[in-house]
Structure 1
Amino acid sequence: MKNIKMLFAIVGLILVVSFSCGSDDSDKDMVPDDPNTDLPEVFSKFSEDLNIYVDGDFVVIETDDVPDHNSPYFGVGHQNYESYNGSNPDFHLNPNTIQEQSFVIRIPLNPAEAASKENTQLGAIGVAVNGVVIFNQYAGPDQPLTNEINSFDQYNGHPQQTGAYHYHLEPSYLTGNNGPSSLIGFLLDGFPVYGPEENNEVITNADLDAYHGHSHATEDFPSGIYHYHITSEDPYINGGQFYGEPGTATN
């Protein structure tokens, strides 16, 4: 009898240990990987309202594209409405209002110069640190911004037909708050965009290459990187072609 009781005790102990070990392995398998583990530090400068993570060889930025500043394009009665108070005497509202979007921006985690340069497309070609998308220097296919520029609000943005707010020019809200040499955002090829000044000097088109950028160290990339600059003259942000291989922007 004593031997039988001892046998049951040993079997019970084995079962307890087995279930305990199995439970530990199961719990360990259920712990998800942190999607931001390999996210470069520079993306900490983006708004906390954005969802940003690494997916393979890409950084993914998910944004509703709603600006973090006031605008007449929110419409009278909206809490973020602000009548136009800029310096353009020819300003006029376009018929659109700001609407939430569902942009998913995928940019290369490790950008490199493209062997064959691609033209920028109409629509989003990048994203600013506040989540607003960046458009190129055209109002339409090869159409300059000559007339459309008069519909830009006091922060140099406006919405298109579906309500997607965007910048074609210097986002003055960002440079006014963060400084004229601050990081503005990234284009789809993964290369950063900086403001209109560098080392306390205004950047002109003559300081930049055909793609509207140059290479050297920046505060965010002390080892050096190719980067774009905003200027006050056409093409403003980009020279019409991506320096690197572009990712995608879907909405």
Structure 2
Amino acid sequence: MKKFLKKVLLIFGLLPMVVFTGIGCENSDDNSVIEDEETTVPEVTDYDISSILSKFEGTGLSYAVNANTVTFTTKDLPDHSSPYWPVSNPLYEAYNGTNPNWNQNPNEISEQNIVFTISLNPSEAANKQATGLGPIGISRNGVVFYNQYAGPDQPLTNEIDSFDQWLGHPQRIGQYHYHIEPTYLTQQFGEDAFLGLLADGFPVYGPLEDGEIITSSDLDAYHGHTTVTPDFPEGIYHYHITADDPYINGNGYFGTPGNISN
């Protein structure tokens, strides 16, 4: 019904213009256009994400604002249980998830020192960049986001079976991360909640919007769209985590990524 009303209002000129975004495949110069009639661009595109910084709280997580950037420093330590904690850690908990094929990888969570410097005023990049392996963003509890690959062009098909009960896991040097929905956060804050930022400064939200489950088919090639959110009542481009591949991000960053060191 909501989609129908949007179309009716659009016909009579009561909604802002719908724009069609040029979509390029990863590592490609293809400028083909994909139409997205559900993406409504607000009049204001001078975005400022300062208002959501207070939502970031986590073990060993801090941030500092300097002019038009924010620098996050995180130890990348999840604030929830996992079988990947050393057994001596109070947060150690044996796997109690629902994956019948679960298989623990040999790694353990260990403290990191990861620094993101991100623009407070994100904007669409003229030339989109692919996400790399390793951290591509930071969740509101300080755990980093990874993209949809287990390795260079390798899908997560098998690696998913090593995700713990909160759908994260550590890699070989103990860097814990989420490739898919961080269920600890969506259970705590809601499936429609703000979950973090990618390195280009654009927000990441859960799989629910306006009471409807979002799938990848509802989003553009970068796995986002522009709509109003509770945190941005004038609208903002944002990513959604979905249950289907590519989960968090598609063909790359919609905006220009800041600096990541780890």
With normalisation by structure 1, the TM-score equals 0.83
Which of 225, 230, 247 is matched with 2:258 structurally? 247
CA–CA separation in structure 1 for the residues paired with 2:243 and 2:83: 23
**What RMSD in Å do the two structures reach over aligned CA positions?**
1.3
Greater share of residues in strand: 2
Q: Which runs of 4+ in 1 moved over 2 A?
A: none
CA contact (8 A) 2:208 2:214 kept: yes
Partner of 1:34: none
TM-fit CA distance, 1:223: 1.3
Which of 44, 47, 54 is matched with 1:44 structurally? 54
TM-fit CA distance, 1:234: 0.5
Partner of 1:61: 72
Partner of 2:234: 223
Partner of 1:235: 246
1:123 partner letter: G
Map Cα deviations across residues 30-55 of structure 1 (whole Å, 9 max, x no partner).
xxxxxxxx981211111065211112
Find the residue that maps to 1:149 and give its secondary structure.
Answer: helix
CA–CA separation in structure 2 for the residues paired with 1:84 and 1:48: 22
1:45 partner letter: K
Greater share of residues in helix: 1
- Going from structure 1 to structure 2, the CA distance change for 1:162 and 1:198 (only over 3 Å counts) comes to same
- Going from structure 1 to structure 2, the CA distance change for 1:104 and 1:112 (only over 3 Å counts) comes to same
2:65 partner letter: V
Map Cα deviations across residues 187-227 of structure 1 (whole Å, 9 max, x no partner).
00000000000011100111101100000111111111100
CA–CA separation in structure 1 for the residues paired with 2:144 and 2:244: 20
- Going from structure 1 to structure 2, the CA distance change for 1:48 and 1:213 (only over 3 Å counts) comes to same
CA–CA separation in structure 1 for the residues paired with 2:72 and 2:155: 29
In the TM superposition, what are the counterparts of 1:1-251 in structure 2 within 5 Å? Answer: 40-47=50-57, 49=59, 50-251=61-262
Map Cα deviations across residues 144-185 of structure 1 (whole Å, 9 max, x no partner).
001111000000100001100000000000001100000010
CA–CA separation in structure 1 for the residues paired with 2:166 and 2:135: 18
2:53 partner letter: F
Number of aligned positions between the proteins: 214
1:229 partner letter: H
Map Cα deviations across residues 28-81 of structure 1 (whole Å, 9 max, x no partner).
xxxxxxxxxx98121111106521111233111111000000100002222110
CA contact (8 A) 2:56 2:141 kept: yes
CA contact (8 A) 2:58 2:142 kept: no
CA contact (8 A) 2:49 2:121 kept: no
Give the greater-gyration-radius structure (CA). 1
CA–CA separation in structure 1 for the residues paired with 2:51 and 2:258: 20
Residue ranges of structure 1 left out of the alignment (5+ in a row): 1-37
1:219 partner letter: P
